[in-house]
Amino acid sequence: MIAPSPDRGCWPAPKGVALRRRRQRALPSGLPALRGQRQRDSSLWNPPRRLRAGRGPVRIECFTNQQSKCGKAVLEMMTTEKIWTAEALRQAVRPRLSGYRYTHTLGVEKAARQLAAQYGGDPERAAFAALLHDITKRLSKEEQLYLCEKYDIIPCDIEMQEWKMLHGRTAAAIAAAEYGADAEICEAIACHTTGRAGMTLLDKVIYLADYIEENRDFDGVERARELARESLDRALLYCFNSSLTDLLARDKLIHADTVAARNWLLERA
């Protein structure tokens, strides 16, 4: 586990971590090796070998007033045992996020709970994924690549150029390693930026909640919120179409998974 840096509330510089660990073991292959083709697994979330075996689903409990007053010792116990209340998880992620990002995350949690309840999902699991979806958002490119190396994540060429896309996949790795998230939750976190073909209900809930949460204010968001009350898939298709239009207007690279997600939804419409 990478210890949070007390001054930044995030991870220490990769170089410092590598130097401290060099005496114990050699680091995996160098960063240039990451510039390869995408992994063959079609899933965005490819759990590292050491996380694949023996990992049961995380236990998630509802927030109560009594649990909200948990102290440091209780929080440490929850971290060790991978038992999280909603309030404890909010406390745990707060130091890793900027003020704006934390407010956004709480908005995504609220929207995810509502969407999950409306469309037959599990609001607690949706909240768990929502609270963790952006925990690596503030990291630098070097830190993102360090986590890719550490957790066997192979970026595609577009992700190497638009490296901020990586935060979904690195957040999924941290969610599994440090918070006990299971594969379904990790997949939803991993694809919350790009989407993917064959999205699960939880994938859809987190992607849409991230787009329409109450703090968002941009052209088209009210229409997306209206559609979200009527049809999950129609709302998602609107979001993908809007995102693609914006990316094209700004001459930005478009991830293949985003195109695949949009086409998959259109075929199902």
List the structure tokens of 37: 């083709």
Range of 187's domain? 57-217
Q: Rounded distance, CA 146 to CA 168, Å?
A: 14
Q: Which residues contact 55 (CB under 8 A, 6 or more apart)?
A: 47, 176, 180, 182
Each residue's pLDDT tens digit, 24-55: 333 333 333 333 333 334 445 555 544 443 33
| Residue 118 resides in a domain | yes
Helices (H) and strands (E) in the chain, counts: 14, 2
Under DSSP, is residue 22 helix (H, G, I), strand (E, B) or coil? coil
Q: CA angle 258-259-263, nearest 5°? A: 120
| Residue 128 resides in a domain | yes
| Residue 43 resides in a domain | no
* Residue 133 belongs to domain with CATH number: 1.10.3210.10
Each residue's pLDDT tens digit, 250-259: 999 999 999 9
Q: CA angle 15-16-21, nearest 5°? A: 100
| Residue 184 resides in a domain | yes
Q: Rounded distance, CA 197 to CA 78, Å?
A: 34
Q: What is the DSSP string of 181-233?
A: --HHHHHHHHTTTT--TT--HHHHHHHHHHHH-TT--STTHHHHHHHHTT-HH
Each residue's pLDDT tens digit, 190-212: 999 999 999 999 999 999 999 99
The pLDDT score that the predictor gives to residue 27 is: 33
Under DSSP, is residue 70 helix (H, G, I), strand (E, B) or coil? coil
List the structure tokens of 126: 């949706």
Total domains present in the chain: 1
| Residue 177 resides in a domain | yes
Indicate yes or no: pTM above 0.85: no
| Residue 227 resides in a domain | no
Residue indicated by tokens 């037959």: 120
| Residue 39 resides in a domain | no
| Residue 157 resides in a domain | yes
